[in-house]
């Protein structure tokens, strides 16, 4: 049995027919073509699959797509402006070496976006805690933490 599942994806209403056992990650990637969100562990461990659900970070690999019905989903594709220009956070990741292979980057950006929406001036420890569900095998994290703090400063200063 399939269930009609409707939600707002990066501000646009979408509707898909899904089996209840399918995860939000697979529906985003396979049915909706949103491949910015990555699949790493499929086990809630690495954070590559993170999206915002009603503004809160979510491991999409471990969430049933049908439970997104009626809600607001934001993927990395929704973080830049409609004309493609990058957000302050995205620019800071590039400027501070917060990206190497890029596989963790969508999830990192999602967690950091949720953090900055809540805390415009996070301490380094707060940034590290907010990103604790996101693993990176390349950067050593320093550039990522610096990027988040520098983007926060840029946003604060307008």
Partner 1 sequence: MSRYLAPAGLEEALVALAGGARPVAGGTDLVVGVRQGRFPIPDDLVAIHRLAGFRGIAEGADGGLVIGAGTSHAEIVAHPRVTRDWTGLADASAIVGSPATRATGTLGGNVANASPAADTVAPLLCADAVIVCRSTAGERRLPLDGFATAPRRTLLRPDELIVAVELPAPAPGSASCYVRLEHRRQMEIAIVGAGALLRLEGGRVTAARVAMTALAPTVRRVPEAERILLGSDGGAAAVTAAAEAVAAAATPIDDTRASAAYRRAMAAVVTRRAIGGALARARGETVTIPASDTLFGAA
User: Which residues sit at the interface with ligand FES, rule CB under 6 A?
Assistant: 39-49, 59, 61, 99-104, 136-139
Query: In this structure, are residues 102 and 144 in contact, taking their beta carbons and an 8 Å threshold?
Result: no
d(CA 7, CA 67): 10
Query: In this structure, are residues 131 and 111 in contact, taking their beta carbons and an 8 Å threshold?
Result: yes
Question: Taking the complex as a whole, how short is the minimal distance between the CB of residue 119 and ligand FES, in angstroms?
Answer: 23
Which of 6, 15, 17, 44 is the binder for partner 1 (CB under 8 A)?
Answer: 44
**Site membership for ligand FAD, residue 132 (CB under 6 A):** no
Alpha-helical runs (H) found in the chain:
24-26, 88-95, 105-118, 124-130, 142-156
Question: Taking the complex as a whole, how short is the minimal distance between the CB of residue 37 and partner 1, in angstroms?
Answer: 13
77 binds, among ligand FES, ligand FAD, partner 1, none (CB under 5 to 8 A by kind): none
41 binds, among ligand FAD, ligand FES, partner 1, none (CB under 5 to 8 A by kind): ligand FES
Checking DSSP bridges between strand 3-9 and strand 12-18, what pairing results, if any? antiparallel
């Amino acid at each position: 049995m399939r269930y009609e599942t409707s939600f707002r994806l990066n501000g646009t209403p979408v509707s898909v027919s899904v089996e209840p056992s399918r995860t939000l990650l697979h529906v985003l990637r396979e049915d909706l073509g949103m491949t910015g969100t990555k699949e790493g562990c499929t086990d809630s461990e690495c954070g590559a699959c993170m999206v915002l659900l009603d503004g809160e970070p979510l491991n999409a690999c471990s969430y049933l797509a049908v439970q997104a019905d009626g809600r607001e989903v934001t993927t990395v594709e929704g973080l830049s402006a409609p004309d493609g220009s990058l957000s302050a956070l995205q620019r800071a990741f590039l400027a501070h070496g917060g990206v190497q292979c890029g596989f963790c980057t969508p999830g990192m950006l999602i967690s950091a976006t949720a953090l900055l929406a809540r805390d415009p001036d996070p301490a380094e420890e707060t940034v590290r805690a907010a990103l604790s569900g996101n693993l990176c095998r390349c950067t050593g994290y320093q550039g990522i933490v610096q990027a988040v703090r520098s983007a926060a400063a840029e946003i604060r200063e307008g």
